[in-house]
Structure 1
Amino acid sequence: MATVKVKFRASSVLAKEGKVFYQVIHNRVVRQVNPGYKLYPSEWDTVNAEIVFSPGTGNGRRVYLTSLKCALEEDVKRLKNIITRLERAGQNYTAEEVAERFLMSPDTEGFISFGRELVQQLKQIGKIQTAERYTTVLNSFGRFRKEKDVLLEEVDSNLMVEYEIFLNANDVCPNTSSYYMRGLRAIYNRAVEKELTVQRSPFKHVYTGIDKTVKRAVPLKIIRQIQDLDLSLYPVMDYARDVFMFSFYTRGMSFVDMAFLKKKDLQNSILSYRRHKTNQQLFIKWEKPMQELIDKYDTTGSPYLLPIIKSNGKDERRQYKSEAHRINRNLKKIGEQLGLAIPLTTYVARHGWASIAKSKNIPIATISEAMGHDSETTTRIYLASLDTSAVDKANRLILKSL
């Protein structure tokens, strides 16, 4: 196996900086690699092959030497990873080849660059949602890395623990942190499948589970207050409220499903659509409040039932996502106006419908069918996360018995 040594060559000119370089030795052949780092002779310990600080070193120079010390450690680690990869391939290689690979841009074998390339491939085969998810997690990881890529060989447990600490320090909640980690894990596993790296299980010490979310349902009286608010002087908030109410009227229809509803989906007073999440087909009896809401907006010339996607055929997915952010931003303002303890979003309409249905003793099977869940088990889990009243009542009884 090839070996790596760090060397220093003093300048022939007195009081001038010398050069630090690497020696790659394989099969008795030595190849030198010059990274361009410079030092004074007094700053180099030849015996231990490391940077040292003299007593008179100023703060500015000390910062430079500290960063240079880190750079040397990273370079040596990278050279050794290149050697390991070549050894694992089981083919003959030379010291020259190790040096050439080191001098190549890290982006050619980087984790982030691999992920970006994967995103483009997913877009080409129509997997837009997965591509968008990977883009989101790569953007977050890129911020952590300060946009500096990392070799696939260097993606290990320590790196991911550092990333998790970074997320925690930036007040990212556990579920969002887990979302990023699971996305990065999927990208990493694709690299392993392509035999670009070996499986090092870098995510074994970070959280990749899903915590119970904070209760996001509101009672019927709050839904009435939202419905009855006079927002005529605030058109954008009025529109956001109408989208919220349309979701509630249609048994908690998700925003993406509302955005892509077409006029042809409404036939003979029956609204039919397929859930984007499960592809399950649902049918809803068209009621008066739904029609009154639709009548408020002019969608002439548009195939869509609601004015969420305004430019037909022009990156509709981008339009609906942009509109979702805008609507939820205005819904939060409405929630603050009402003094709600939770942020008001379109999700609250869906959760509210389910919770209210349960409070009216509507069977779980009916609620499950209405919401398009794939099983009653899903609905039970869903409702359990929304309603803690039974547990709260039990706790109250116990406390009263003290």
Structure 2
Amino acid sequence: MASIKVKYRPSTIADHEGAIYYQIIHERKVRQLNTEYHVMPDEWDENRSMVTTKQSSERKSFILSIRERIRWDVERLTKIDKRLDAEGLSYTADDVIDEFRRYASEYSLFNFMESLIIKFKQHGKTRTSETYTAALNSFKKFREDEDIMLDCMTSEIMEAYEAWHKQRGNSPNTISFYTRILRAVYHRAVEDDIIENRNPFRHVYTGVDKTIKRALPLPTIKKIKALDLSLSPPLDYARDMFLMSFYLRGMSFIDMAYLKKTDLKNGSIVYRRRKTGQQLTIAWAPEMQAILDKYPDNPTQYLLPIIKTDGINERCAYRNIGYNINHNLKKIADLVRINIPLTMYVARHSWASAAKAKGIPLSVISEGMGHDSEATTQIYLASLDTSVVDKANSLILKSL
């Protein structure tokens, strides 16, 4: 086993900070591992080999953070040494240092998350890579781009991250979105035996609150449908895509964008949800065809006029179009005096709400926002006979 000690090297210049380094001795060979930590001479206790501070010091919080980071480093060095010793093979103090540096380069939170994001992209999990990137960027802003080792993540840090979000006015669900991803990353590192689980997320919220209902009643949908938007093609297009989503039983915009012409056959749309992989069948109604007939035939393989150019980044294309549609839907909301943010997602909520208002049993369609997740709704839909759901959809469309 190696001997690991914390040492202090005073500055050659009077009243300047000295440097903290680690001394590693194994089989009588002494090696030094420099750190980035610097403290004043009176902030170092030689007898106890540790940094120290006075209660009244202005640098108290800074010194305490260095003390904590030194503790983590020594703990990591000790763990590496024990593992090398347990392997039963000959090793040196340099091996301990090399492994420590390798760990620092590979198992910081930023580096570990970036490696996961690359893997997600390689495996075609584009959406997952995007959500992980969003969480990483958020945490980087909180840390002001200062990386942190995975085994240095503590409950106090995560509570501070949660408080930082609250100060920025973010909702509990937004905060939970980021902390759940960070928790998944942390648990991945635990499962890979990179770190021990210290449960740093135990005091932060990682659930999902039921949000304010975002459904429009049928009379409001009728008003949107009746608007004369012929002089404003962008608004007209946004209204059409909103109604198409509603007609298609609240189909998500990404599923609409990727509907293929071959998905429409024998009077029905047959497609798989990109989020869940579940196959759904929807009867093609005259209302849907009327919207499709308003636009030139899509020159691509796709059915609806959303992705209309081959050889482009299709995901970026649909996202940009979706952004423009939602922007224009807010203008439509002003025209019909809707007091909730009108987006494409409202179409899904509205269809579920309309189905319930028509007395359709919950075994046929569950109210969109009445479940903890969208997957619950999809489980209900997937388990039903398609004709029953199509009958429900027909009842709703006839009400417009």
Q: State the TM-score bracket (shorter-chain normalisation).
A: 0.7 to 0.9
Q: 1:43 to 1:83 in 2, by over 3 A?
A: closer
Q: Does the 8 Å CA contact 1:17/1:38 hold for their aligned counterparts?
A: no
Distance in 2, matches of 1:278 and 1:103, equals 41
Deviation sequence 1:125-154 (CA, Å, 0-9, x none): 222222222222122122212222211111
Query: Matches of 1:143 and 1:16 in 2, distance apart?
Result: 34
**Match in the other structure for 1:155:** 153
Distance 2:350 2:189 in 1: 42
1:233 deviation in Å?
3.1
> How far, CA to CA, are the matches of 1:79 and 1:155 in structure 2?
13
Residue type matched to 1:265 in 2?
D
Aligned position for 2:210: 212
Summarize deviations over 1:75-101 as a string: whole Å, max 9, x none: 523422322431452527665555556
Contact residue 8 and residue 44 of structure 1 kept, 8 A: no
- The one-letter code matched in structure 1 to 2:378 is H
Pick the aligned partner of 2:379 from 360, 374, 383.
Answer: 374
Shift of 1:273: 1.9
Structure 2, unmatched stretches of 5+, are: 369-373, 385-400
Q: Which runs of 4+ in 1 moved over 4 A?
A: 25-53, 65-68, 92-105, 368-372, 376-379
Question: Contact conserved, 1:270 with 1:286, CA < 8 A, in 2?
Answer: yes
Instruction: Say which SS state the counterpart of residue 328 (structure 1) adopts.
Output: helix
Matched residue, 2:301:
303
Aligned to 1:129: 127
Match of 2:250 among 252, 277, 301: 252
Letter in 2 for 1:228: A
Aligned to 1:110: 108
SS at match of 2:379: coil
Q: 1:80 aligns with which of 74, 84, 93?
A: 74
Q: What is the Cα deviation at residue 252 of structure 1?
A: 1.4
CA–CA distance in structure 1, aligned partners of residues 354 and 215 of structure 2: 9
- State the match for 2:320 in structure 1: 322
Write the distance in 2 (CA, Å) between the matches of 1:337 and 1:272: 35
CA contact (8 A) 1:24 1:98 kept: no
Q: Aligned residue for 1:340? A: 338
Of 157-166 and 307-316, more deviation after overlay is shown by: 307-316
Aligned amino acid, residue 18 of structure 2: K
How many pairs are equivalent?
369
SS in 2 for 1:144: helix
Structure 1: distance between partners of 2:84 and 2:35: 28
Note the C-alpha offset of 1:243. 0.6
Q: In the superposition, relative to structure 1, how do residues 232 and 76 fare at CA in structure 2: closer, same or farther (>3 Å)? A: same
For structure 1, list consecutive stretches of 5 or more residues without a partner in the other structure. 56-61, 380-402
Cα contact 2:77–2:100 (8 A) shared by 1: no
Aligned runs of 1:43-192 on 2, under 5 Å?
50=51, 69=63, 72-73=66-67, 75-89=69-83, 91=85, 96=94, 106-192=104-190
Pairwise CA distance, 1:337: 3.6
Displacement of 1:358: 1.5
Per-residue CA deviation, residues 207-226 of structure 1 (Å, 9 max, x unaligned), is: 11111111011111110111
Match of 1:269 in 2: 267
- 1:24 aligned partner, one-letter code: Q
Letter of the 1:373 partner, please give it: Q
Which whole-Å deviations, capped at 9, do the CAs of 1:158-196 have from their partners, x for residues lacking one? Answer: 221121111111222111211211111111121112211
- The answer to whether the Cα contact below 8 Å between 2:159 and 2:204 also exists between their aligned partners in 1 is yes
Partner-residue secondary structure (3-state), 1:375 = helix
> Is the Cα–Cα contact under 8 Å of residues 17 and 40 in structure 2 kept in the other structure?
yes
Cα separation, 2, equivalents of 1:344 and 1:187: 34
- The residue aligned with 1:21 is 20
Residue 5 of structure 1 is matched in structure 2 by: 6
SS in 2 for 1:20: strand
State the one-letter code of the partner of 1:375. Answer: Y
Distance (whole Å) between structure 1 residues aligned to residue 364 and residue 36 of structure 2: 71
CA 1:99–1:264 in structure 2 vs 1: closer, same or farther (change >3 Å)?
closer
Letter in 1 for 2:74: K
> Is the deviation greater in 240-249 or in 35-44?
35-44
Identity across matched positions, percent: 43
CA 1:95–1:161 in 2, change beyond 3 Å: closer, same or farther?
farther
Contact kept in structure 2, 1:192 and 1:199, CA below 8 Å: yes
- Relative distance call for 1:40 and 1:219 in structure 2 (3 A) is closer
Letter in 2 for 1:222: T
Contact 1:79-1:98 at 8 Å conserved across structures:
no
C-alpha contact 1:22 1:34 (8 A) present in aligned 2: yes
* Cα RMSD after superposing both structures: 3.4
